[in-house]
Chains A and B, each alone.
Chain A
Amino acid sequence: MAKKTFQGRPVVPGDLNGKATVSKQPFNTTASYMENVWAGNTKNAPCTDQDNKDLFRKDLEGVILCTSQCIGSSMGGGCFMAVAGLDLAPKAMLFSRHIDSVTASGVLMADIWQDKSIICVDLLGEEFLEAVKNGDAISIKKDGTVEVS
């Protein structure tokens, strides 16, 4: 595809290149990390959200997660700290909408208390999620610019 550029807000800024992993539906954090947070899996991060048709059973370790926003229980922020501690967190999360308060807590606590940065950009706009496909090349800049190609 032709390169498209989107301007978002850097919640946790950083530069990164990689491939997109897309969830067109909102990402339920607690439901997705049950195996890591409850069941002791420290090797990979299989998505355990049976309702997520895009990601169920896919490995979420080190992905650039592209979605609208996160949903679900208030454990979600703790889940991001947990997978960050296991070095299984997404490398980056790109949100078309405003970041939710639970996820914001998780990425900030990981950044400030664990010194583990999960690069996070929000407010990329609905066009971003419409454009991005699994496997697309993604380039993230510190200022919140995201290129998809």
Chain B
Amino acid sequence: MRRGLSILLLIVVALGISLSLGEIPFGRPKTKVGRYYIDEGMKETGAVNIVTSVVVNYRGFDTLGEVTVLFIAAIGLGAVLTGGGEKKRKAEPASLVLYTGCRLLFPLILIFGAYVFVHGHLTPGGGFQGGAIIASGFLLIYLGCRERRISPVASSLAESLGGLVFVVIGLLGIVLGGYFLSNFLPKGTPNALVSAGVIPIIYIAVGFKVGSELASIIDNLIEES
């Protein structure tokens, strides 16, 4: 009964969507906004990677909101999970091969993540991707070396500092550039590591914030299991 109704509903929705989607051509340029960003983005922001200039510069306020959503999700997860009683479970120690392998790989993953978010304005990458890579390094440590834990103080410090740097740069933009998150630093030459004004600074802050938030999510979930 319920299954039949659901399928019927989905078929009706699919018909409606296919009628409207047939009007959207695939594989052709559609928006003028995207064309404008590609044509003018490098001149206006100094970032070679146009996606980065859209994320951090043109839609920087939106990105601040998205980072806040991530923050609230991490806080909510911590609040939901730590409400219960304290449980201490003895974790089985990992074998020597696994333990050594994780210890060896962990710094390399951290360096790779840092590389990805430092070069966010030059190569495909940025704060969100680099943060996710760093969090995957912490996940490896949690799975391989069970008894090691990240310190909650360092994690929340990195998280708060990341958010604080983002907001302070935005407010400095009001003072120096006239509007929130304006790019007040010199643009530099394209394709250089120190270029594009505030974009690398903001992306490094976002990388720290995303990395520590995802790591604390992993920490909470593993603590619970």
Task: Tell me whether A and B are bound partners.
Answer: no
